[in-house]
Amino acid sequence: MSATSAEPDALEGLNAAQREAVLHFEGPILVLAGAGSGKTRVLTMRIARLIEHHGVDPRRILAVTFTNKAAGEMRERVTRLLGAEPEGMWAGTFHAIGARLLRREAALVGRTPAFTIYDEDDALALVRRVMDRLHISPKEWAPKAIRAAISDAKNALVSPEEYAKLAHDPLARAVAVVYPQLETALREANAADFDDLLLLPVRVLEQHPDRLAEYRRRFQFILVDEYQDTNRAQYRLIALLGGEHGNVLVVGDDDQSIYGWRGADLRNILDFEKDFPAAHVVRLEENYRSTPQVLELANVVISANTARRGKTLRATREAGERVTLVGSLDERDEAEYVAEEVLARRSADRMLELRDIAVLYRTNAQSRSLEESFRRRALSYRLVGAMRFYDRREIRDLVSYLKLIANPADDEAFRRAVGVPRRGLGDATLEQLAERAAAAHIPLLAASARADLHDGMRPAARQALADFAALITRHRARAADASVDELLQSLIEDIRYTDVLRAEGPDGPDRLENVRELIAGAAETVIDDGGELGLTPLDHFLQRAMLISDFDRQDPDADAVTMMTLHNAKGLEFPLVFITGLEEGLFPLSRAHDSPNELEEERRLFYVGITRAERKLYLSHARSRRRNGETMPSVPSSFLRGIPSILIEERSTIRLRATGRGALPQSAAMRRPGAPVSRSSGWDPDIDASQDTPRFVKGERVRHARFGEGSVVELSGVGRETKVTVDFDDETVGRKRLVVAYAGLERGWE
């Protein structure tokens, strides 16, 4: 059935707000889409309507999604609605769209279309190399700190020249020296890091009006999902492409903005009408995912935030179970409860699959005790985000070869590949080669093939370099015709990589299995743009490998409980959800109390976790938890305050009850801010999370072993990260901000 004949029925299935968004044609529109409100349906139906009803050529549509998986699902849904593939439509993540645009315009940014995309490890290795060349000691400035500062600058569209003008502190001045040299090194390696995939397209459009005009003509309709998580560079890209015609639809939820720590700017969605004054605003508030009990809790929690446009989720599902709040003795007790409850729920409901269950936590380190409990009971689980498939050592080894085959100028790929398997090439030989390559202004691979640059090296080293260069040259020739899986198999045979892994002992079989999976994935590589860019299958495979997320690779049919951080849970949904570790100092993190914006983002993260649950939600906290090598007392998260007791069913584990302390009283856990606290409850939410950390008050006199006596003027943070600001009497010392747990302050000095 064509979309034309099916369209009236499809529109009838929409609620009033969804229909309003789908029927909107020209001009800017902001869709404030609450969790589970059917935004994907709105996006796909709008695309189908633009094509079928308004006659828009699919090539004139740009759809930007948050994950590669979402892009694939969007294309599949549109295809089903239309009855045909929307050929020529660009759909993908910001980074994938940016990479595609750069393949077309590579010459304008000093690259070729076969440029390499550097992942975080590649980029960090290059930063270290640049620092070494500039004689900047990694002991003085951590390469990760330098790399992070440059990444922030790129995402904020700050050029090396602008950064140098703004560099006022010692770290910034070190960054200002490295930044321009790093840009040169990337260009010479015919490479781009993840941040460049956003920065360079913006630079192309800003500096080349003819290219901007062409892309504006090309993309007459732009749709952006998860707009609340866009950073400055992403915002600028959309503003440039859609600034003339204004046919921009952005979908987002300000209550789910959780990536401020990596540059996302909540103001992009809060101030959308300032950028597009004629914007139409639609609110999607009907929730099709969760029960009323889950949504009531979500609405109460997020209402405590002030930086929001405001909306209230309304349930369309029938009533279900109340949310369960569980108190446990420690993290092992908490994990035991979760595992036992999973078994009990499965026993009570044979239709419930393990894949229907998710266990969420604030930090990856929390998975350890959960994994142990699940393994003891032979419960299958999968970890998301612990280690990306393409970050495994054996996969990085082989991908470095593929990168070098595709891009002979990639020196970082050369350095890794030439060492696997061992060829008797030591660091001294490779540094000697690097010096001669730099002097000759050629890449390391080209230098390996130049016998005249090997003078003074050992005969064995000279032969090894020549053999390696010949190996890569042979496979470059094969890459022109061979499929990626065939190329991989040939390469593995040539370097006898299977023997290398087998010689590693017990880990060998697992690593070999990963290699087989890499080959299988390579066999599935298809060029999904009709060869428009003239790239080889290898180029497409490498781009996909660098941009794919860990969850994109998950088998949706695997029957296993999903364990992941709350950040990784964004965009997903499960019938049964556990949110663990709801303790002050852990969730929210201690540092969040230093900034209202950070604390509100932590609360939005809690809201995201809550709204992943379809039927049943569990919240849990422990009385003590082992953190940083020591067991520390804990108190329930401040996020639990203000929740009406009627929304919560409280439980405590057997081990906690055996201590005689029992569960957290509702009067304390659910009290609203300002309500009195029963001191007999054993919990005061206003006390720092670590009761072993000294507590001070403003105006109190203290003494420091080095700085002398002074007065407390400010306090911030909780637990082990409580900070105190002291005005010391010695004017040469002045005001100092100290971490209480480590400062060794003594109180009561007059």
Q: Annotated active-site positions, please?
A: 39-40, 225-226, 256, 612
- CB contact at 8 A, 698 and 713: yes
Residue 174, both tokens: 């070190």
Q: Assign residue 677 a region: left if phi > 0, alpha if psi is -120 to 50, beta otherwise?
A: beta
Q: Which residues contact 366 (CB under 8 A, 6 or more apart)?
A: 331, 580, 581
Residue 348, both tokens: 């009570």
- CB contact at 8 A, 446 and 458: no
Strands (E), 333-380: 357-361
Q: Which residues pair with 630 in a beta bridge?
A: 627
Burial (CB < 10 A; 0-12, 13-18, 19+), residue 713, is middle
- Give dist(CA 232, CA 267) in Å, integer: 10
- Give dist(CA 474, CA 30) in Å, integer: 53
Quickly count: other Cβ atoms within 10 Å of residue 252's Cβ. 24
How many helices (H) does the chain have, and how many strands (E)? 30, 24
Q: Which residues contact 385 (CB under 8 A, 6 or more apart)?
A: 364, 550, 551, 564, 565, 567, 568
- CB contact at 8 A, 101 and 109: no
Helices assigned H by DSSP within 454-595: 459-479, 484-494, 497-502, 508-523, 537-547
Between vectors from CA 445 to CA 400 and to CA 423, what angle results, nearest 5°? 70
Residue 639, both tokens: 């996020």
Q: Assign residue 223 a region: left if phi > 0, alpha if psi is -120 to 50, beta otherwise?
A: beta
Q: How far is CA 602 from CA 364, 524, 584, 591, 644, in A?
A: 16, 39, 12, 10, 20
- CB contact at 8 A, 743 and 704: yes
Size (the chain), residues: 750
How would you label 519-558 residue by residue, b for 16+ Cβ within 10 Å and e otherwise? bebbeebeeeeeeeeebbbbbbbbbbbbbbbbbbebeeee
Q: Which helix (H) or strand (E) is 182 found in, with range?
A: helix 170-188
Q: Is the dihedral of CA 586, 589, 591, 593 positive or negative?
A: negative
- Give dist(CA 20, CA 67) in Å, integer: 26
Q: Which helix (H) or strand (E) is 64 found in, with range?
A: strand 61-65
Strands (E), 173-322: 191-193, 221-224, 248-252, 280-284, 286-287, 314-315
